[in-house]
Structure 1
């Protein structure tokens, strides 16, 4: 099936999936939302939308002036994180490319303040954070968050929404396998319809 893609700069009328407010990487994984009818709403569909998404999560200043290359990097990391979440949920080995992408993002920025040298005042330590490195810092933060999620106790609660065609991931609470009331209602309606239309067996 070929998806028709819509680009939006604001989230649709859909609450964050359980766990997405706690884990930025889960919010990132869920930033391309599959809707009935073969539509996908991509919250990172444009550089401006990407800038807004990062700004709302304190990962970039409002005036970061994102370029398409930056948005592409974030969308690429999203797909690698989704691949790792899918592997974890299915109990399958991780794709090597996904692991490499996360580790590359983690090591792209310094984890400790670097030694700098001012000609007048001498040596000092500081973490570089010019505008050109905003995306690298955002990618590293999101990759670290994904690593924490996948290796922490909440990984056991990680699941995919059980309502077709939804593609969002969530942290399960009890037996709930839906990311929203809307998806739960849709799944229950689909089950009821399947029961009504099931052929009678002799």
Structure 2
């Protein structure tokens, strides 16, 4: 596995954190895959860069797994939307679960000895839940908002990133656009008599 792909953000990632999350699993032309959330430290770093977690959040593997799982559900919904196919019910449920899991106030707890009290969940869990809720809400906004019709998959195989299409651009980066044009030119040369 490679550390960093060196790709610029795809069109729309700055406006939609869910698009940036979907693009953290990158298939490279070399056949390698890059997972920018592969370890708890990488997941913490990614969330910190986007203002969704403090640097010292203490991310654990369970938290990183939850983030990667939400990424796959969002990718599934983006693929369904981009291809005009029905969404998987499990993906819709995952988004809704992430959005509704976060309490807006400290919850009522009950201790058998001391009685009722109010408390928030474990701080790291609360940070992750809030980040997941924010990302899920952004995905729901993207899928139902004015940008939804511009959501598309990168048109350069084997790239698996998503972007918001502007004009005729169907590639997530200049690198992918160059690769797609080179592949078309090669195909024309090899099929010409």
TM-score using structure 2 length: 0.90
Partner of 2:98: 105
Moved >3 Å (runs of 4+): 112-116, 125-129
Asked whether 1:66 is paired with 2:59, we answer yes
Q: Deviations over 1:72-130 (max 9, x none)?
A: 100000000000000000111100110010011011002x44588xxxxxxxx998783
Contact 2:12–2:163 at 8 Å: present in 1 too? yes
Secondary structure of residue in 1 paired with 2:140: helix
**Root mean square deviation, CA, Å:** 2.0
Matches of 1:7 and 1:46 in 2, distance apart?
Answer: 13
> Distance between the aligned counterparts of 2:53 and 2:2, measured in 1?
20
Equivalent residue pairs, number? 185
Query: 20, 23, 39: which is aligned to 1:27?
Result: 20
Identify unmatched segments of 5+ residues in structure 2.
109-117
Q: Give the structure 2 partner of residue 120 of structure 1.
A: none
Corresponding position of 1:121 = none
Unaligned runs of 5+ in 1: 1-5, 117-124
Give how far 1:14 is off. Answer: 1.1
Matched, 1:134 2:145: no
